[in-house]
Amino acid sequence: MEKPEDLARTMTLLWRRTLGSPQGTRGPKQRVSVDEVIRAGIAVADADGLPAFSMRKVADRLGLKLMSIYTYVPGRSELIGLMVDEVIGEVPHPPHRGDWRARLEGVARHQWDECHRHPWLLQVESSRPWIGPHGCDRYEWQLAAVEGEGLSDLDMDQVITMIANFTAGAARSSILARRTVEDSGISDVEWWEANAPILEKVMPPGAYPLSGRVGTAAGEEYNAVSDPDRSFRFGLDRLLDGVEVLLRANRREHRIRGVEEP
Amino acid sequence: MEKPEDLARTMTLLWRRTLGSPQGTRGPKQRVSVDEVIRAGIAVADADGLPAFSMRKVADRLGLKLMSIYTYVPGRSELIGLMVDEVIGEVPHPPHRGDWRARLEGVARHQWDECHRHPWLLQVESSRPWIGPHGCDRYEWQLAAVEGEGLSDLDMDQVITMIANFTAGAARSSILARRTVEDSGISDVEWWEANAPILEKVMPPGAYPLSGRVGTAAGEEYNAVSDPDRSFRFGLDRLLDGVEVLLRANRREHRIRGVEEP
DNA sequence: ATAATTTTCCGTAAGGCATACGGAGTTTAA
DNA sequence: TTAAACTCCGTATGCCTTACGGAAAATTAT
């Protein structure tokens, strides 16, 4: 579905800062820049989400007509790829400080914040992952957080992947919950008024003993049906405890084999 | 954006097995059933994914015309809600066996398999989560996996949420990777032919030392850019190690307080 | 200075989508 | 027998992406 020439063109757009603009200079000047198109795209996606993200809205925001956008980027999905790499580079990766645990927490928190700044990131499903400059920097920075702790190269990759997967899942829950309260055009009251009579009819008392007990406890503690931020911290703590178990096991094995430790 | 009467209607559709069909019997008989509509919807989503899921395709599959579908379900998003609950009930939850670790592994694996059977599940973003019968059963079953291990009600909820979040994130990666090799219309060769010259120009040797080292090791081991199933198992093992740490800490605290243990 | 070339901007149109509305026909209840 | 309720569906509105081609602008070649 994707033409090879579009692929090459998108790659040169992704790496435009490194490559410069090697175009012939004939023809009228462009009224805006690729960067402006990308930033406008991000603004639209931030405001409306990815399903409602349209080329027309990007054009409107720039004072251009719809079809002009296609002289800047090959198409919608390529523009989204460019937006993703742009957003990854938005907040610089802070230098790593503290022990491995603090560093990994930083990596996870960085991704968590990013997902909440641009909730459409988790809606992106490109057929090919684009290899852009900021994505590459990100991976290098993530790996640096676990370098020098005695993990194998493979386990370094696995640990990073695990953190990223968990964070993505938790952020997805969080964003979905936020959308629920924010932009569903129906109020909590209306929602309960419509649901309660049916749920009462359909759930005999004692039908869901554990759900009832736990749901009540959770509801009282959270004052809501869930507390995504808290779930993120809880899960991350357990995950890092698990990493600690792995690191300890590695160190023990090294000692048995007679390898020196710092 | 959602009308209250549609909400109530969808709830009675969700719980149709429990409620029966309390409709007046006037007018022509329906040519198909709601269940058939839902199953047709699932078939379409399985085949084409959620973005390409359309009411017209559902109608075509049932031998009906487009607008007739709207006499069965209020609209597209409500139909998707019904499809989700249907799919959750598709494979019965097996009774829990073994220790807590085996049980939680079963819970995670159940969700993992489900996501791969119906990859569109992770594309669903409803404004309101529908409370359906199978979803309720699922939560009860998940909680039963950690009941009786000395966790507080709140921590039971947190542990389940954590497993679900991680599994969702890992499954998302897995499904994205699968789609990349399967249905992007461009071959691996074409992809590299378009990317390699630019990447060579743009990545001086030594620019990404850790990525280079780890990426090479991972590539050789996986024979691919990633191995999602392996990442899932790795992450789940670390996660469960982390739960074990929590359980141990709980037990120690109980002992200090002089509470009996089984 | 003039012609050729390249590039931008954009109008139009094709083909997809959800769904609001209303009409025709069918079945049951009054 | 008539009124009501319900199903099926044709039509229309208003979104969406993107292929194609034309007009105008800016540079390069002559």
pLDDT at A184 over 80: no
Which among B8, B157, B161 has the least Cβ separation from residue A198?
A: B8
Q: Are residues A240 and A141 in the same domain?
A: yes
Verify whether the Cβ–Cβ distance B157 to A217 is below 8 Å. Answer: yes
Query: Which residues from chain A sit within 8 angstroms of residue B128, using beta carbons?
Result: 180, 184, 186, 191
Judged by a CB distance cut-off of 8 A, whether residue B188 touches chain A is no
Whether the Cβ atoms of residue A161 and residue A108 lie closer than 8 Å to each other: no
B221 → chain A, closest CA residue: A154
- Looking at residue B10, which CATH number applies to its domain? 1.10.10.60
In the listed set B49, B67, B88, which residue is the last one of a domain according to the structure?
B88
| Residue A153 reports pLDDT greater than 60 | yes
DSSP string across A182-212: HH-SS-HHHHHHHHHHHHHHHS-TTSSHHHH
Q: Give domain status of residue A93, yes or no.
A: no
Cβ atoms of A175 and A122 closer than 8 Å:
yes
Q: Which nucleotides of C are covered by protein (CB under 7 A)?
A: 5-12, 16-22, 25-29
Q: Return mean pLDDT, chain B.
A: 92
Domain-embedded: residue B65 = yes
**What is the DSSP track for B152-195?**
-HHHHHHHHHHHHHHHHHHHHHHHHHHHHHHH-SS-HHHHHHHH
The answer to whether residue A249 scores a pLDDT higher than 80 is yes
Is residue B189 a part of any domain in this protein?
no
Task: Identify whether residues B166 and B219 lie together within a single domain.
Answer: yes
CB contact under 8 A, B158 and A234: yes
Which nucleotide has the least CA–C1' distance to B67? D9
Confidence of residue B1 (pLDDT cuts 50, 70, 90): low
Supply the pLDDT for residue A128: 81
Q: What is the CATH number of the domain that holds A226?
A: 1.10.357.10
Say if B262 falls within a structural domain.
no
- Alpha-carbon distances of B24 from A24, B16, B27, B28, rounded to whole Å: 72, 15, 9, 11
Q: What pLDDT score was predicted for residue A21?
A: 73
**Whether residue A113 sits in one domain with residue A146:** yes
Give the minimum alpha-carbon distance from B115 to chain A in angstroms, rounded to a whole number.
13
Instruction: State pLDDT tens for residues B99-121.
Output: 999 999 999 999 999 999 999 99
- The average confidence (pLDDT) of chain A is 92
Domain that holds residue B173: 100-184+201-256
DSSP B98-158: SSHHHHHHHHHHHHHHHHHHSGGGGG---SS----HHHHHHHHHHHHTTTTSS--HHHHHH
Q: How confident is the model at residue B71 (pLDDT cuts 50, 70, 90)?
A: very high
* DSSP-derived 3-state class of residue A26: coil
The pLDDT, as a whole number, for residue B262 is 42
Q: What are phi and psi for residue B78, nearest 5 degrees?
A: -70, -40
% of residues, chain A, pLDDT over 90: 74
> How long is the CA B151 to C1' D15 vector, in angstroms?
51
pLDDT in tens, B208-233: 999 999 999 999 998 888 999 999 99
The verdict on A117 and A47 lying in the same domain is no
Please, are residues A217 and B154 in contact by the beta-carbon 8 Å criterion?
Answer: yes
Q: Please report, rounded to whole angstroms, the spatial distance between the CA atom of protein residue A65 and the C1' atom of nucleotide C9.
A: 8
- Residues A208, A185 share a domain: yes
Based on the domain organization, do A116 and A230 belong to the same domain?
A: yes
Provide the domain count of chain A: 2
Chosen for mutation from B211, B213, B223, B232 (greatest number of chain A CBs closer than 10 Å) is B211
In a domain, A51, yes or no: yes
- Output b/e per residue, A101-126; b: 16+ Cβ within 10 A: eebbbbbbebbbebbeebbbbbbbbb
In this structure, the answer to whether residues A46 and A124 fall within a common structural domain is: no
Q: For an interface test with A, which of B165, B201, B213, B229 has the most A Cβ atoms less than 10 Å from its Cβ?
A: B165
Among B161, B128, B66, smallest CA distance to A214 is for B161
Distance from CA of B240 to the nearest CA of A (A): 7
A163/A223 same-domain check: yes
What's the pLDDT at B20?
82
Tell me if chain A has a CB within 8 Å of the CB of B169. Answer: yes
- At A192, the pLDDT band (50, 70, 90 cuts) reads confident
- Distance of A206 CA from D6 C1′ (whole Å): 38
B134 within 8 A of B88, measured Cβ to Cβ: yes
Residue B192 has a pLDDT of: 81
Phi-psi region of B150 (alpha: psi -120 to 50; beta: other; left: phi over 0): left
Amino acid, res. A242: G
- Any domain includes B206: yes
For position A176, what pLDDT does the model report?
93
Tokens of B213: 């080292």
DSSP single-letter state for residue A262: -
State the residue for tokens 């409602």.
Answer: A52
CA atoms within 13 A on the CB side of A156: 25
**B193 belongs to a structural domain:** no
Distance in Å, alpha carbon of A25 to nearest chain B alpha carbon = 21
Q: Could you give the percent of chain A with pLDDT greater than 70?
A: 94
Mean pLDDT calculated for residue range A53-70? 98
pLDDT tens for B173-209 read 999 999 887 766 677 777 887 788 899 889 888 999 9
**Which pLDDT score is estimated for A261?**
43
Q: What is the mean pLDDT of residues A108-128?
A: 94
Instruction: Evaluate whether residue B192 is within a structural domain.
Output: no
- Binary contact (B246, A239; C-beta < 8 A): no
Task: Judge whether B187 is closer than 8 Å to chain A, CB to CB.
Answer: no
A259 pLDDT band, cuts 50/70/90, is low
What tens digit of pLDDT does each residue of A202-226 get? 988 899 999 999 999 999 998 888 9
Rounded Cα gap, residues B200 and B78, in angstroms: 49
Out of B64, B88, B112, pick the residue that ends a domain: B88
B78 and B108 fall within a common domain: no
Which residue would you say has higher pLDDT here, A250 or A128?
A250
Whether A69 and A153 share a structural domain? no
Q: Give the integer Cα–Cα distance in Å for A213 and B132.
A: 19
A250 touches chain B (CB under 8 A): no
Contact with chain A for residue B162, Cβ under 8 A: yes
Confidence of residue B153 (pLDDT cuts 50, 70, 90): very high
Q: Identify whether residues B53 and B153 lie together within a single domain.
A: no
In this structure, are A181 and A79 located in the same domain?
no
- Write down the pLDDT at residue B184: 62
pLDDT over 90, % of chain B: 74
Q: Residues of B with CB below 8 A from A167's CB?
A: 169
Of the residues A66, A88, A110, the one at which a domain ends? A88
- Cross-chain residue pair A4–B190, CB shorter than 8 Å: yes
| pLDDT tens digits for range B10-35 | 999 999 999 887 667 888 999 999 99
Q: What is the band of A1 on the pLDDT scale with cuts at 50, 70, 90? A: low
Q: Which nucleotide is nearest to B6 (CA to C1')?
A: C19
